[in-house]
Every structure is written in structure tokens, then in C-alpha cells.
Structure 1
Amino acid sequence: MTQDFWLERWTHGEIGFHQPQGQPLLQKHWPALDLVPASRILVPLCGKSQDMVWLAERGHRVTGIELSDIAARDFFAESGLDYRRISRGPFMAYAGERIEILVGDLFDLAPAELARFEGFYDRAALVALPEDTRRAYVDHLMSGLRRGATGLLITLAYDTSLMTGPPFSVDDEDVGELYGRYAHVDLMAEQRGLAADDPLRQRGLTDARDSVYRIVRR
């Protein structure tokens, strides 16, 4: 997917992927990562996810990376949080007290910046990327993160004969191949099924599997 594809989705409000109430699997499994409250957490391709508020309420300092400034503005407006706009290298930073969103290209985030984070949360990034870009994304992210950095990854797997992404189908084998070169990968939980009102049903899916992984940088 090109950057223009995602920017157009935000411009036209085509954001069926957004979960206004946050991701229950994050809330259930994040505590098992045992990250201290003051940890700095990276949320790649964050959109306007309310998961960032949930993480900040746990005491974390949260940095989201997002292409669309519409998403960043909407996040702070809908969350009722104050922010300042600050130019920061290749990014425009929307900086709040415990949450900031860097608007720009994730691949412009330098290794020295990635090394600041003790943890990460990925619900929307890996599954949003086609196969060739997924490898580049994981290589960039994991090569920059410090040893011991711990993340929660949530993926979606489905019958690709019924639907094409995004979100793309990413299974256990994909995760192991992508992350296993850099990190310890543990499958924490799986959840099958689609809610009756899930937008993916309108695209032909009748079933899917969410998988939750703990990723620890070696």
C-alpha cells in the first residue's frame, strides 16, 4: 500500500479499521509483559487509537507514529487532551503530556530514536503492510530497538481466497520468520471468530483468527 492510499482513507473518513473503544486483547494481555509504568512505548501506524490513552493511563510515555495529520488532530480532539505542534526533524510532533504522535514516515525514525523505547504495541502496523513491505518494517523496527525491549503484537489470519488486504493475513509462520531473527517470540493467546457487526464481513470474511504475541528483543 502506498502512503497516498492511507492518506486518502483518512481524508475521506474510510477508517473502518478504527476501534473507538480500544482493543480488548491489549487490555487483557499487556500486563503480562511486566513493563514498568514509566516505560516508553512505541505505537507504529497508530491512527487515532484510544489504545494510546489506555497505555498512558498505565503510567507509560507513549509515542505513536502516523502518516496522517488528520488522525493526529482527531486523536487529541476526541481524547480531550491538550497538545503542542512542534517540528522535529522529518516529523511534525503533536506533543501532549504523556502521549505524542509523530506525523511522518516510520522509516524516517532513526535507530537512535528507536533505541529510546523499552516497549512497543503493534495492532495496526504489521497487518496493514503488504508482504514485501512487512519485512522492511520489521527489519527497521527490530534493528533499532534496544536489547530487552518488549512488545505486544496482535495479528489477524484468514482465508485469503475470501478477501484481500488490508488488513493482510499474517499467520504464526509469518511472525516467526519475520521476528525470529531478532527476538524471542511467544504466542500468548488466540481468538477465533468475527463479531456480527465486524466490517470485514462486508468484504466476504466469515471467520478469522486474532493471535497475540510477546516479542522480546534479543
Structure 2
Amino acid sequence: MHHDFWHQRWQHQQIGFHLGEVNPFLLAHFQALQLQPGQRILVPLCGKTLDIHWLLAQGLQVVGVELSALAVDALFAELNLTPQITQTGTLSHYRAGNLEIFQGDFFALDQPLLGQVDAVYDRAALIALPNEMRRQYSQHLINLTHTAPQLLISFAYDQSLVPGPPFSVSQEEVGTHYQADYQCTVLGSVFMEKGLKGQYPAEETAWLLSQP
């Protein structure tokens, strides 16, 4: 999606994608990542998700990437944190406590700037991108993280019924993007009769992407 699309969504508070609770799949399957307090987890295209609050409460160092400055400001405000902000190229780097966010274009983030991460939690990044960008995204993420294990959440429905985002990403497509570098294991799946926008049948799936 073009940057203007997401900036407008946040400016007009059209953020139906923002869950008012911690994602149930994160609660159910976080342990599959086998992380310990103090380790570092990346949350790409993070918005102001409450999942970050929960991950911080587990003692993790959390690093996010988010295009919208409004979302980043809201996240730190809701956490009652005052970030230190520095500029690196086109990215603004927010830091406070165990949380850091790179605000700007995800594709502008490189590995030296990101540093080492121990895991990735993709709750809404892959499904936020149109088909032509998903391959670029997945390869960039693999390169950024040196194939760190991932907890990935995908969402599948009849794309002809309604345009995304969120976009429909089938289990077959997840394999297309990741099976060359990871062992892709389904941890759980839920079918919802009206799971998309309260109107359309959809299946949500949690994956563990791990080293073969």
C-alpha cells in the first residue's frame, strides 16, 4: 500500500485493525518462541498494538517498525513512556526503557541499524501488504533478522468478496514465502463465520517459523 493510505487511516482514526485486547494467538503460542527475559523481539508494522504492552511485561526488549508517527506517539503515551528520539536517514528512532521503535518505511531499515533480534512476531505485517509487496517484505525480513524464528499470524478469506487490507494470505502462500528458509509449522487455526469486518468467513492461523 502507498504510504498515504496508512497515514490517512491514522489521521482519520480508521484503525479497525487495532485490536482492543492482546491477540489470543500470541497468548496461546508465545511459548513456542522459547524466549527468555532480556531477549529481543521484532514487531514489524506494529501500530500501537497492545501486544507490545504484553511483550514488555514478559521482560523482553521489544523493537518495532511503524510508518505512522501518530501511531508511535500514541503507543508511547499509552505506555506512559517519554522516548528519546534520534534521526537516522529517513527513520526516526524512538527509545525508552525496553522499547524502541523505528518510525518510517520498513524497507529503509537495514540490519546494522536494527541489530540482532532473537525472534519476530508478525501479527499484522504480511497480511497488511498487497500481493506484489509480500515477497519483497518476507525476503527483507529474512535478511534483516538472519532467519530468526517467527510467530506469524495469517488471515485467509475469499479475496473477491472485499478488498484488503487485511489481505488474504493462504497457507500455501505462507509456504511460498518462507519454506525455503524455515520449517513452517501450524500451531493453531480458527475459522470464524463472520471473522472479517463482521461479515465475511475467514480463517486465522498461527505459525511457528523455525530453523529446519
| TM-score, structure 2 as length reference | 0.94
Q: Judge conservation of contact 2:189–2:203 (CA < 8 Å) in 1.
A: yes
Report the 3-state secondary structure (helix = DSSP H, G, I; strand = E; otherwise coil) of the residue aligned with 2:49. Answer: coil
CA–CA distance in 2 between the matches of 1:199 and 1:139? 27
RMSD: 1.6
Tell me what 1:152 maps to.
151
More displaced 10-residue stretch of structure 1: 26-35 or 64-73: 26-35
* Maintained 8 Å contact 1:184/1:216: yes
Distance 1:77 1:40 in 2: 22
User: Is the CA contact (8 Å cut-off) linking 1:129 and 1:168 kept in structure 2?
Assistant: yes
> Conserved in 1, the CA contact under 8 Å of 2:152 and 2:209?
yes
Match of 2:190?
191
Over 3 Å counting, the alpha-carbon distance change for 1:91 and 1:37 in structure 2 is: same
- Given that 1:114 and 1:144 are in contact with CA atoms closer than 8 Å, whether structure 2 keeps it comes out as yes
Q: Tell me the matched-pair count.
A: 212
Find the counterpart in structure 1 of residue 197 from structure 2: 200
1:114 deviates by 4.7
How far apart, in 2, do the equivalents of 1:17 and 1:200 lie? 9
Q: Mapping of 1:42-191 within 5 angstroms?
A: 42-114=42-114, 116-147=116-147, 149-191=148-190
CA–CA separation in structure 2 for the residues paired with 1:18 and 1:208: 17
| In 2: Cα distance, 1:86 partner to 1:194 partner | 45
One-letter code aligned to 1:77: A
Distance in 2 between residues matched to 1:26 and 1:64, nearest whole Å: 16
Q: CA deviation at 1:115?
A: 5.2
Q: Distance in 1 between matches of 2:69 and 2:56?
A: 20
1:126-173 Cα shifts (integer Å, max 9, x gaps): 0000011000000111123225x2110001101122211110001110
Q: Which structure 1 residue ranges, 5 or more long, are not aligned? A: none
CA separation in 2, counterparts of 1:34 and 1:74?
A: 30
How far apart, CA to CA, are the structure 2 residues paired with 1:22 and 1:126? 18
Instruction: Give me the whole-angstrom Cα distance separating, in 2, the residues matched to 1:100 and 1:114.
Output: 10
Instruction: For 1:25-44, list aligned pairs within 5 A.
Output: 25-44=25-44
- SS of aligned partner of 2:197: helix
SS of alignment partner, residue 37 of structure 2: coil
* 1:27 Cα deviation after fit: 1.1
